[in-house]
């Protein structure tokens, strides 16, 4: 494990920042997720540096710094074109409301900083200059045993910050680890604190959980611990079988956020509820709208055998750009729910793909006649009839894309006008 650390690839700008602070006589370490990942032989996503230097001292030590979160002790050093976050050792005062500490204090001692962190595996520090690992809570042992364990009393730690219980489940899913029994037991016991956590914070953890290859297990653990009921009762209160199928659909779906959300929700709620759930979970409107559309159309197996014209109307509704995502949702659902129908629905997907590949006109903009052409053909000015005429032409072209030439549409339009004009 230590060997993994010594061999780890640490970017030069990060080493330079650490070297400089060290030269000035400060204590300085890599901390948190990057140390966990290096010990575990995984390439870290980012490298967080912690130091005994005060924020002003860090600012003075480097040419280019951004005071990102200076009141919390975080300064971003711009070094060799990359951003390195440097945070002064901190401890936290009492938590008043299970959401945020009443105060933070800067510390001189790394162990004080590590003791405020959530899990033993996240509470290690490594100094690559001296090759020194600080591991006061047995993080290495727990990593080796694949255990997620709180630093200190789980009940107390989850009562300080309700988000930590969700983080425990998220890490269990991402890493494929188990929860230490005390840590596990503290989750249902502190749900009242978790209820106070802002949805913005839940959002980030939920996204990470949904995008792991073990999302199914993560969702199951969320349900079993009672966390799910707090932010996604629609799933938590589904029948056990419906919940199992929803999880299996997520598991079968590609690792893409909108697809996984739609796979999760499409057999539990309708389009409006899906949109509301996404907005409640603080997803952007764009994500919520797409998930709603995917949920609305997800049951593609019901459309096997429909004529081309009906499938073109489906494409018009979904937009051909989003067709691959819709197919991914439908495929995942069918794989989870009715695997025996696989070849039948795959044939439908192929039909949809080739209909889309022919790029038929799907929107009024793509009609061979413009609004002005329609007015000229009918000899009328702007009036409600233009809208009606456009809808009629669009429907005709969806039925038969070969009609979409100016001459043919003019003829079709005149016939329609003669029929409808009184
Ligand atoms: P990831 O690889 O998913 O980013 P991470 O461990 O880096 O995992 P972050 O959310 O980036 O997780 O947090 C960085 C570090 O800050 C953690 O490793 C942990 O030491 C500490 N930390 C983060 N959130 C909390 C919290 N709510 N309570 C206590 N410590 C926390
Ligand atoms: Mg991180």
209 CB within 6 A, ligand 1: no
CA count, 13 A, side-chain hemisphere, 101: 12
Q: Who's near 417: CB < 8 A, 6+ residues apart?
A: 378, 389
Residue 308 to residue 330: CA distance in whole angstroms: 19
Give the CA dihedral 55, 57, 58, 60, nearest 10 degrees.
120
Residue 353 to residue 388: CA distance in whole angstroms: 30
Closest CA to 149 of 118, 113, 176: 118
* Mean pLDDT for the stretch of residues 60-81: 93
Phi, psi of 116 (to 5 degrees): -85, -5
Name the 3-class secondary structure at 138: coil
Q: Tell me the per-residue pLDDT of 134-168, one tens digit each, with 9 for 90 and over.
A: 999 999 999 999 999 999 999 999 999 999 999 99
163 CB within 6 A, ligand 1: yes
Residue 133 has pLDDT above 70, yes or no: yes
**What's the gap in Å between 86 CA and the centre of ligand 2?**
13
Per-residue model confidence (pLDDT) at position 82: 93
Closest CA to 221 of 267, 148, 170: 170
Name beta bridge partners: 126.
30, 133
User: For residue 392, is it left (φ>0), alpha (ψ between -120 and 50) or beta?
Assistant: alpha
Say if residues 179 and 133 touch (Cβ distance below 8 Å): no
45 CB within 6 A, ligand 1: yes
DSSP secondary structure string, 277-318? Answer: HHHHTT--HHHHHHHHHHHHH--GGGGTT--HHHHHHHHHHH
Say if residues 155 and 180 touch (Cβ distance below 8 Å): no
* Residue boundaries of the structural domains of the chain: 1-136, 294-357, 364-420
Per-residue model confidence (pLDDT) at position 217: 97
**What's the gap in Å between 164 CA and the centre of ligand 1?**
9
* Mean pLDDT for the stretch of residues 233-258: 98
Name the 3-class secondary structure at 180: coil
Point out the ligand nearest to the CA of residue 113: 1
Host H or E run for residue 247: helix 240-252
Residue 279 to residue 290: CA distance in whole angstroms: 12
**170 CA closest ligand 1 atom index:** 3
Residue 315 has pLDDT above 70, yes or no: yes
Of the options 1.20.1250.20, 3.40.50.1580, 3.30.230.70, 3.30.460.10, the CATH number for the domain spanning 1-136? 3.30.460.10
**117 CA closest ligand 1 atom index:** 30
**What's the gap in Å between 34 CA and the centre of ligand 2?**
7
**What's the gap in Å between 7 CA and the centre of ligand 2?**
21
**What's the gap in Å between 152 CA and the centre of ligand 1?**
16
Sign of the Cα pseudo-torsion (95, 99, 101, 102, in order): negative
Length of the chain as a residue count: 422
Q: What separation, in Å, do the N-terminal and C-terminal C-alpha atoms of the chain show?
A: 86
Most distant pair of Cα atoms in the chain: their distance: 93
**What's the gap in Å between 122 CA and the centre of ligand 1?**
7
Name beta bridge partners: 84.
77
Nearest Cα residue to atom 28 of ligand 1? 118
Q: Tell me the per-residue pLDDT of 385-405, one tens digit each, with 9 for 90 and over.
A: 999 999 999 999 999 999 999
Name beta bridge partners: 147.
178
Residue 348 has pLDDT above 80, yes or no: yes
Give, for ligand 1, the residue of 118, 168, 170 to mutate: max count of ligand atoms closer than 8 Å to Cβ.
118
Sheet holding 65-69, edge to edge: 65-69, 74-79, 82-88, 48-51, 28-31, 125-127, 132-134
Task: Name the DSSP letter for residue 71.
Answer: G
296 CB within 6 A, ligand 1: no
- 367-371-374 Cα angle (round to 5): 90
85 CB within 6 A, ligand 1: no
Give, for ligand 1, the residue of 32, 113, 167 to mutate: max count of ligand atoms closer than 8 Å to Cβ.
32
**What's the gap in Å between 73 CA and the centre of ligand 1?**
16
Task: Name the DSSP letter for residue 90.
Answer: E
CB atoms within 10 A of CB 74: 20
> What is the separation of C-alpha 177 from the centre of its chain, rounded to a whole number of angstroms?
21
* Mean pLDDT for the stretch of residues 225-252: 98
**44 CA closest ligand 1 atom index:** 2
Per-residue model confidence (pLDDT) at position 4: 83
Residue 1 has pLDDT above 90, yes or no: no
């Amino acid at each position: 494990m230590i060997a993994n650390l010594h061999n780890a690839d640490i970017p030069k700008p990060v080493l330079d920042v650490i070297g400089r602070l060290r030269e000035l006589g400060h204590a300085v370490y890599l901390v948190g997720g990057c140390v966990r990942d290096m010990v575990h032989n995984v390439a870290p996503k980012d490298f967080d540096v912690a130091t005994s230097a005060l924020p002003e001292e860090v600012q003075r030590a480097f040419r280019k710094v951004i005071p990102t979160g200076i009141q919390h002790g975080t300064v971003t050093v711009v070094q060799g074109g990359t951003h390195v976050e440097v945070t002064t050792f901190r401890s936290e005062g009492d938590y008043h409301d299970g959401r945020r500490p009443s105060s933070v204090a800067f510390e001189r001692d790394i162990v004080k900083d590590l003791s405020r962190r959530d899990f033993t595996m996240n509470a290690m520090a490594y100094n690559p200059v001296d090759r020194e690992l600080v591991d006061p809570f047995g993080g290495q042992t727990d990593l080796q045993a694949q255990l997620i364990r709180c630093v200190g009393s789980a009940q107390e730690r989850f009562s300080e910050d309700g988000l930590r219980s969700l983080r425990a489940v998220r890490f269990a899913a991402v890493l494929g680890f188990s929860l230490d029994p005390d840590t596990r037991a503290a989750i249902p016991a502190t749900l009242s604190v978790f209820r106070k956590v802002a949805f913005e914070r839940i959002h980030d953890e939920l996204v990470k959980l949904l995008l792991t290859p073990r999302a199914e297990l993560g969702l199951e653990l969320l349900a079993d611990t009672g966390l799910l009921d707090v932010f996604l009762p629609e799933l938590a209160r589904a029948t056990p079988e419906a919940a199992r199928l929803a999880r299996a659909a997520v598991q079968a779906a590609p690792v893409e956020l909108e697809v996984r959300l739609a796979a999760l929700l499409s057999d539990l709620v309708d389009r409006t509820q899906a949109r509301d759930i996404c907005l409640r979970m603080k997803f952007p409107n764009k994500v919520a709208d797409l998930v709603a559309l995917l949920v609305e159309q997800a049951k593609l197996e019901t459309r096997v055998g429909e004529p081309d014209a009906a499938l073109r109307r489906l494409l018009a509704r979904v937009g051909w750009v989003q067709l691959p995502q819709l197919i991914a949702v439908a495929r995942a659902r069918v794989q989870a729910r009715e695997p025996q129908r696989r070849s039948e629905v795959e044939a439908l997907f192929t039909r949809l793909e080739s209909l889309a590949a022919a790029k038929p006109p799907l929107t009024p903009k793509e009609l061979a006649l413009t609004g002005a052409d329609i007015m000229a053909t009918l000899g009328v000015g702007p009036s409600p009839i233009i809208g009606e005429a456009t809808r009629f032409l669009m429907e005709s072209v969806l039925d038969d894309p070969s009609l979409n030439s100016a001459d043919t549409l003019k003829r079709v339009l005149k016939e329609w006008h003669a029929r409808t004009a009184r």
